[in-house]
Amino acid sequence: MCVGISISIAVAVFAAIKPYPVDFDAAGNLLVDGAKMANDTYKGVGWCVGFLVGWVLERRYVGFSTDVPMMTRMTRLTVGLLGYYVVSLILASLLKSWIPGLPSAILSSFLQMFYVSFVFPLCMTHFVSVRG
């Protein structure tokens, strides 16, 4: 996990300091938007770090299993997708309005992947243990 996070930080630093040339076609249309490319890199960094942290925490503290009946899988899928949409569409949008720029891109992407890799499995495991 530490190696992956270190590589992600190095990629983010590289994306921040790399000069992006502005490229136009013959008609004057912008071909490559360096700022958009860098922002996509920051999203990737957030997703990577969120996955690595969530994965390690899930393996150590949750032990989520997919060995469940098909109906339980369908219920998990539905609940998980609804939760992901809440995190992606509502929480990430609020975060972007509160924190502008680079930190927002990294943090909102981190939260999306952390939800998928840790929060959702934790909630489903807790729900099953409370229910059964």
Residue-wise pLDDT tens digits, 42-89: 999 999 999 999 999 999 999 888 888 899 889 889 999 999 999 988
What confidence score (pLDDT) does residue 8 get? Answer: 93
Domain carrying residue 118: 2-131
The sign of the dihedral angle between the CA atoms of 26, 19, 46, 59 is positive
What confidence score (pLDDT) does residue 61 get? Answer: 93
pLDDT, tens only, 18-29: 887 777 888 888
- Long-range contacts formed by 7-15: CB under 8 A, 24+ apart: 8/45, 8/48, 8/49, 8/52, 9/45, 11/41, 11/44, 11/45, 12/41, 12/42, 12/45, 12/106, 15/41, 15/42, 15/45
C-alpha to C-alpha distances, 90 to 32, 62, 109, nearest whole angstrom: 29, 26, 13
Number of domains in the chain: 1
